[in-house]
Chain A
Amino acid sequence: MSELPSPENFGYMHAMNRALHAEMAADEDVFLLGEDVGVGASGVTSGLLPRFGAERVLDTPLSEQAFTSFGTGAAMLGKKPVIEFQISSLIYLVFEQIVNQAHKFSLMTGGQVRIPVTYLVSGSGSRFGWAGQHSDNPYSLLAHAGIKTVVPGLPSDAYGLLRSAIQDPDPVAVFAPSSLLGATDPAYGGEEEIVPLGEANVVREGADLTIVAVGQHVGTAIEVAESLGDRVDIEIVDPRTVYPFDWDCLRKSVNKTGRLVVIDDSNRMCGLGAEIVATAAEEFDLVAPPRRVCRPDGTVIPYALALDKALVPGAEQLTDAVEATLKSVSK
């Protein structure tokens, strides 16, 4: 048996790797398939092949559509597949297989089957310099289609949510932002706990304004909250699971603060930010119009680094949105 990844490393990527090791050790129906999973090219799948063998770690040909529905078929016979997609845009190739097949079987069969597949997107969003076809963040699409979707923003959540995703009886997509793969969390390092799907986390408590921050933007929000700390007391809510969304947690926060800014690395049109802002407008007690910081409509990330960075939300845009929200008042 090979060594487990170093427990001294509390980085995001290693947390996911430990989650895979733990789930595969705990349940022999869990198996991994995807491209380059044997060598662990993403880092997330390292050490699994030597530990669990080729019967449970399947290196696939470059056939995303077939191996995605292969997972569905195996799930029908009781297996729990984890499928790794190293590039987020591959989700577009397998939209049919995830949304139209795996997701729909449970309802269409009148509850005769469940499809417990995990789609692990191990490097979502801009990688800075990987251009148009390797830089998208399509989690809003899966949430729109009703796929249980998580975007962990902290290493501890990456561990705990991936384990929950694998244990869940339904298809679950896990988007790991590429900019977090190398991230570490000094506060993380004690007990590794399973994080339930569908529960948001209040990362920072505050009284004046709520920021909903998704994925890598949990870090952005913390940075902005601290930089504006002498002027505004910001609460940060990390939904962690973007579908189903923890509306109760957000309602509680916004009804307390009265102001809402969402930072989300989706495209603007029909993106996650749009849904959060719309729900807040319909249901929450707001003293100012809610705002969102997100990618422009239909963004295609250009190669040149300056252009790439210009389109991905960051601390500057979030600061502007917070300040604008503080100035404005609901009519």
Chain B
Amino acid sequence: MKLIREFEERCLAMAIDGEIDGGIHPYIGQEAVAAGVCSNLTDQDFLTSTHRGHGHVLAKGADPRRLLAELLGTLEGFNKGRGGSMHAADMKLGILGANGIVGAGGAIASGAAWAAKARGNSQVVVSFFGDGAMSQGVLLEAFNLAAIWSLPVLFVCENNMYATSLKLESGLAGNAARRAEGFGMVARTVDGMDVEAVASATKDLIEHCRAGRGPAFLECSTYRFFGHHSVLELLGVEFRDRDEVAEWRERDPIPLLGAKLGDDVVASIEEAIKKEIDDAVEFAKNAATPEPKDALMYLYAGATAVRPGVIL
């Protein structure tokens, strides 16, 4: 959790300073979800992530140096600078891509789960998405496919109360977990600020998936401490009640866990993480930028000729 937090705080600063191109969608506040869920996964398992995906990717074991290198658009990034924040993927770790389209990962996860199931082992796929994705038809279609074909997918809804700037009650009729139950899935709701609660609920649901009993749904009640993306921070756009933000900040998952670990443990973790992120920043800033002539490299397999447009 601390690694995600430190990474994200640096990234947010770098995005606001213009060191990171485009914007980022900070995960700050939601770290307990990624950490709690992914603590139950191995390198053999898979996940699909979202536009707010740095936390998922790091919790699955991705090297923060290469993730930051990707955010700086360099060849040392996982995606060789072609993906950036919203498309970070490390196939070797089973990270099937963060996704810039809300709700798009669920159907990809279902297909991956079907292929994994066909291999005959107990691999599972976790698909992360937010409460906003619950209004995307393709995700609900994916729930149906996963349920009728009894696929090993854990759908994790990070209910952070806002779909971009739209409040939960203005965007979601009924209740996310009850909707999932309507597809015949086991569904649970947990406190997404409590990493132990998330990890424990995930453990049960992953066992359910690994045992071949079909998909499951986990709703984590959480909150993002910053706005939808870094550009809003830059512009100073506010759309939430300050008291509401302050109230949730009091339930920050990191100090909540830290209080259980004790000051000495926390201090040593903080020191180690700070060093790790310093290293990542150093590594990423020194990484090489791709050549403009290679802008469309990787688009097609083989030597399919792309005719020139702006690049002659």
**Interface on A for B, CB 8 Å cutoff?**
55, 58, 60-61, 63, 65-79, 81, 96-97, 100-101, 105-114, 146, 148, 168-170, 198, 244, 247
Contacts and interface: CB of A to CB of B under 8 A. Distances in A.
Contact of B298 (A55, A97, A111): A111
A111 B304 contact: no
A76 B77 CA distance: 20
Interface of B: 46, 48, 77-83, 87, 89-91, 96-97, 99, 101, 104, 106-116, 118-119, 125, 137-138, 141-142, 144-145, 148-149, 296-302, 304-307
Contacts of A70: 107-108, 110-111, 114, 142, 145
Given A70-B145, A112-B78, A65 B137 contact: yes
Nearest to B136: A65
Contact of B141 (A63, A100, A107): A63
A109 B79 contact: yes
Contacts of A100: 101, 104
A122 B192 CA distance: 47
Given A65-B141, A72-B111, A76-B112, A106 B298 contact: yes
Nearest to A60: B145
A111 B301 CA distance: 9
A148 to B, nearest CB: 7
Contacts of A67: 107, 141, 145
A113 to B, nearest CB: 6
A69 B138 contact: yes
A109 B83 contact: yes
Contacts of A69: 104, 107-108, 111, 138, 142
A114 B299 CA distance: 9
Nearest to B84: A108
B107 A112 contact: no
Contacts of A72: 107-108, 111
9 contacts: A70-B145, A106-B301, A108-B89, A110-B80, A112-B90, A112-B91, A169-B302, A170-B300, A247-B307
Contacts of A79: 111, 115, 118
A66 B138 contact: yes
B142 A66 contact: yes
B304 A96 contact: no
Given A105-B89, A107-B296, A108-B83, 14 more contacts: A65-B107, A65-B141, A66-B142, A70-B142, A73-B48, A76-B91, A106-B301, A108-B79, A108-B89, A109-B82, A109-B83, A110-B80, A110-B81, A111-B298
A262 B296 CA distance: 30
A70 B107 CA distance: 5
Nearest to B104: A101
Given A72-B108, A75-B111, A96-B101, A66 B145 contact: yes
B104 to A, nearest CB: 6
